[in-house]
Amino acid sequence: MGSADDETIAYAVQRRRLRRWRIGAIAAVAGAFLVAGAAGHRGDNSPLFAGGKVKTPHLVEIKVHGMIGADVSRWTKAIAAAGKDTTAKGLLLDIDSPGGAVTGGEELHDAVERFALTKPVVASMGGLGASAGYMIALPAKKIFAERSTLTGSIGVLMEAPEFSGILGKVGVNVQELVSGPLKGQPSFSKPISPEGRIMLQGVVGNLYDQFVAMVVAGRHMPEAQVRVLADGRPYTGEQALKIGLIDNLGGHEDAQAWLAKASGVPEAAKIVEIGAQQKTFNWKRRVLGWFGGVVMSWFGLDADIFLPQANVGIDGAVSIWKP
């Protein structure tokens, strides 16, 4: 057997070894994903996550970061459970949000308001606590914000894209049948009619009135004064303090210290996050997604299509600060 044959055999052995190594590596990493995912899933159902099994007096915290969607049930259910828990002595709202769906903000506001009937609530705003993000802070006994926090932006927005100009240029005509002249308003295929504009402005105006009423009740301010402030503009924390939209300048630790004192628990008392996003584990999706990403990367292609994407449902009217 010549040296060429020896090289061929050695090359084949090396390829088999490399193939086995790759398969073993894939299996090991996939197993690690399974173990980590199962552990994370168990953690979601732990007593601390449920927020009602801590035996000693403690504080609970809700983190509202990012856009507020229409479905806030995980927060409202957690707040309701904490309200019934005799060892949960107070609620800290950690807010860093530009706002979002009016319905989501309203439901969360009402849940906090019910909790505040029996136990103290404090709100701590980070970089943003605007629009619906400000709405949910209103039932708090005290609202803290940094000097640079953007808050306020009290108002409601309803918008819809309208493509009639583009559709006309490309020769597309949309045939629409409606049960009444206001049923198809707004529409992406035609401008809003004068009657439709009046109708939709009435809807926005009513939602705005509801928001103003929340500010009046939460901040104990005259309605006329609130309407002057509530023209949609944002305020810095420093400005908001001067006009009465917040109570104190300070951060998360300041708010927690105030809540501990108001709740009658030691300042070092445990604070338990409730209502966090549950991490449901689908092993098929996780493993196949990871495997697909590995395969795609081997071919030099973009593997982002295998990554799960966050989806925040926001439909209808919104209360959001848009820079």
15 and 133 within one domain: no
Share of the chain above pLDDT 90, in %: 54
Catalytic, out of 124, 131, 153, 263:
131
Alpha helices in the chain (DSSP H): 3-44, 47-50, 73-84, 102-116, 132-135, 164-169, 194-219, 223-229, 237-243, 252-263, 283-298
**Whole-number pLDDT of residue 139:** 98
Active-site residue 131, yes or no? yes
Domain residues for 82? 49-155+232-273
In a domain, 141, yes or no: yes
Tell me the pLDDT of the chain averaged across its residues. Answer: 79
**Whole-number pLDDT of residue 207:** 94
56 and 40 within one domain: no
291 and 262 within one domain: no
More reliable by pLDDT, 261 or 7: 261
Active-site residue 193, yes or no? no
66 and 129 within one domain: yes
299 and 247 within one domain: no
84 and 8 within one domain: no
Catalytic, out of 53, 73, 84, 183:
183
296 and 151 within one domain: no
Question: 53-62, 74-83, 235-244, 274-283: lowest mean pLDDT where?
Answer: 274-283
Residue type, 239: Q
**Whole-number pLDDT of residue 218:** 97
**Whole-number pLDDT of residue 273:** 95
143 and 35 within one domain: no
Of the candidates 176, 198, 201, 173, the residue with the CA atom closest to the CA atom of residue 187: 176
In a domain, 250, yes or no: yes
What average pLDDT does the segment 305-319 reach?
Answer: 47
Of the candidates 323, 321, 271, the residue with the CA atom closest to the CA atom of residue 105: 321
291 and 148 within one domain: no
Taking 50 as the threshold, does the pLDDT of residue 306 lie above it?
no
139 and 20 within one domain: no
21 and 139 within one domain: no
With bands split at pLDDT 50, 70 and 90, how would you rate the model's confidence at 81?
very high
**Among 159-168, 212-221, 273-282, the range of highest mean pLDDT:** 212-221
- Which tens digit of pLDDT belongs to each residue from 150-208? 999 999 988 777 777 777 778 777 777 778 887 877 777 778 888 988 998 999 999 99
**Among 67-76, 161-170, 314-323, the range of highest mean pLDDT:** 67-76
Taking 90 as the threshold, does the pLDDT of residue 233 lie above it?
yes
In a domain, 125, yes or no: yes
Tokens of 205: 């105006």
Total count of domains within the chain: 2
Q: Which residues of 289-307 are buried (b: 16+ CB within 10 A; e: fewer)?
A: bbeebbeeeeeeeebeebe
Taking 80 as the threshold, does the pLDDT of residue 63 lie above it?
yes
25 and 124 within one domain: no
Q: Which CATH number do you get for residue 250?
A: 3.90.226.10
What average pLDDT does the segment 47-60 reach?
Answer: 68
